[in-house]
Amino acid sequence: MSEFRKKIFIVDDDPVLAEMLKDHLTKMTNYEVSVYENGEECLEHINEKPGIIFLDFYLNSIKKDAMDGLEVLQEIKKVDPEADVVILSGQDKIEVAVKTMQYGAFDYIVKGESAFYRAEKVVFNIYRFKKMQGNASMYKNLSIWLAIGFGVLAILVLWLQLSGKISDMPGWS
């Protein structure tokens, strides 16, 4: 079972939005939130194993040669496929959302009045999803160990029976 990741990265070159989202998520969730201005900075810190990355679609309004959101998304998925990436965009276009999902994004949030609430909901959905994944993995491991235990017990009983060590016990013929 993979460990629970407690970090959120926000990657956006809009400092006001990034700070507002950071404050909101810090207040509403138990995650530790860090902000990066561009994808390159985010990738430099990817070994900190963030669980969720909020990634802006446009990342080159300040640093013109910065990687764009889709390039960063692909790079994140290459180096850390377990990190869930949520795309933030000002574009309310279904084709853009579908494209980001095809590249492996978990969700797509349109920047606007309800964006912070949506971001908070996505964090809880990811948390629940990971918890369910963890439970499913735990039950799977438990059932494997139980099957092994019963198998060993059955072999032991059979061996004891065949060797005559338990043939005199009541209930055994």
Partner 1 sequence: MTKYINMFLSGAPGILSQIREQLNASDWKGLKTSSHSLKTQLKYMGVSSAVDLAFTIEQQCGDLKDLDQLPALVGQLEEKTNLAIAELKEELTKL
Contact residues: partner 1, CB under 8 A: 13-17, 19-20, 58, 60-62, 64, 90, 111-112
User: Per the structure block, which two tokens stand in for 109?
Assistant: 């949030």
Q: Which is nearer to partner 1, 64 or 81 (CB)?
A: 64
Q: Which residues contact residue 74 at a Cβ distance below 8 angstroms, ignoring those fewer than 6 apart?
A: 103, 104
Q: Please list the alpha-helical segments (H only) found in the chain.
A: 15-28, 39-44, 69-79, 94-102, 115-162
Q: Which is nearer to partner 1, 55 or 83 (CB)?
A: 55
**Minimum separation from the CB atom of position 63 to partner 1 (A):** 11
**Minimum separation from the CB atom of position 8 to partner 1 (A):** 19
Q: Which is nearer to partner 1, 59 or 85 (CB)?
A: 59
**Minimum separation from the CB atom of position 62 to partner 1 (A):** 8
**Minimum separation from the CB atom of position 13 to partner 1 (A):** 7
Q: Which residues contact residue 107 at a Cβ distance below 8 angstroms, ignoring those fewer than 6 apart?
A: 86, 87, 122, 125
Q: Which is nearer to partner 1, 48 or 92 (CB)?
A: 92
**Minimum separation from the CB atom of position 5 to partner 1 (A):** 28
Q: Which is nearer to partner 1, 41 or 80 (CB)?
A: 41
Pick the closest to residue 17 from 46, 55, 43, 64 (CA basis): 55
User: Per the structure block, which two tokens stand in for 148?
Assistant: 């092994």
Cβ pair 152, 159 in contact under 8 A: no
Count of Cβ atoms closer than 10 Å to residue 7 Cβ: 16
